[in-house]
Chain A
Amino acid sequence: SQTIHQWPATLVQPVGSPLSLECTVEGTSNPNLYWYRQAAGRGLQLLFYSVGIGQISSEVPQNLSASRPQDRQFILSSKKLLLSDSGFYLCAWSFPDRNTEAFFGQGTRLTVV
């Protein structure tokens, strides 16, 4: 069976510090991978998606970047965090076709202070 791991669960970082959130998927190959952000009381906003190693598409211009160094690894990064980067970040994966749902990690609560 497939599993998704996302870490850390909680992170408090000062403004201007770097960020690295990691997500890995087990039990499948060539998944589509996604990073979402959920602001307080809001829906999920798609930040990045990837359909293959090294292939990253950004949905929203911002202070963040994503990378996919391995088939089942997806990393969300920032060189210098802003206060507005605070939120709940969710990694998700899906099979590489449209006939299934997305499966989510447990999320990272990021607070920038």
Chain B
Amino acid sequence: AQTVTQSQPEMSVQEAETVTLSCTYDTSESDYYLFWYKQPPSRQMILVIRQEAYKQQNATENRFSVNFQKAAKSFSLKISDSQLGDAAMYFCAYRSAGSGYALNFGKGTSLLVTP
């Protein structure tokens, strides 16, 4: 089974600054998808960004971008120009061909944004 590791339980960033959240995963598959989800205090899971493993180009969505290193099995999330609304739990997830294509999540990183 694939494992997803987020080694930073908590991170803090000042408003307008940049922060990078780390994620590593273990897999023997060559084709897969990776995701970052945001869970604000409302606990609604919100997709932030997705990355297809066969694409070498890193995904970008406005202020959010990823650094995908396939050989290193690393998938970090960079948040630029941080805003107070970015404060949330962030989960890295791997979509596996097994288990009905269910997402396999890391334990999450709690991001605090300070004024």
Contact = CB atoms under 8 A, between A and B. Distances in A.
Interface in A82-113: 88, 90, 92, 94, 97-99, 101-102, 104, 106-107, 109
A107 B91 CA distance: 16
Contacts, number: 61
Contacts of B62: none
B42 to A, nearest CB: 8
Say whether chain A's binding surface is mostly helix, strand, loop, or mixed: strand
Given A102-B102, A104-B44, A43 B97 contact: no
A49 B102 contact: yes
A102 B100 CA distance: 11
Scoring B43, B50, B101, B107 by chain A CB atoms within 10 A of each residue's CB, the highest score goes to B101
Given A88-B43, A104-B45, A97 B101 contact: yes
Say whether chain B's binding surface is mostly helix, strand, loop, or mixed: mixed
Given A43-B91, A98-B95, A101-B50, A107 B102 contact: no
Contacts of A50: 100
Given A90-B45, A101-B50, A104-B44, A43 B99 contact: no
Contacts of B101: 32, 94, 97-98
B14 to A, nearest CB: 24
A46 interface: yes
Contacts of A109: 43
Given A88-B43, A98-B33, A107-B44, A59 B95 contact: no
Nearest to A88: B43
B100 A49 contact: yes
A44 interface: yes
Contact of A101 (B35, B42, B100): B35
Contact of B99 (A59, A88, A97): A59
Contacts of A49: 99-100, 102
14 contacts: A32-B101, A34-B102, A43-B6, A43-B106, A43-B107, A44-B105, A49-B100, A50-B100, A59-B102, A94-B101, A98-B33, A101-B103, A104-B44, A107-B44
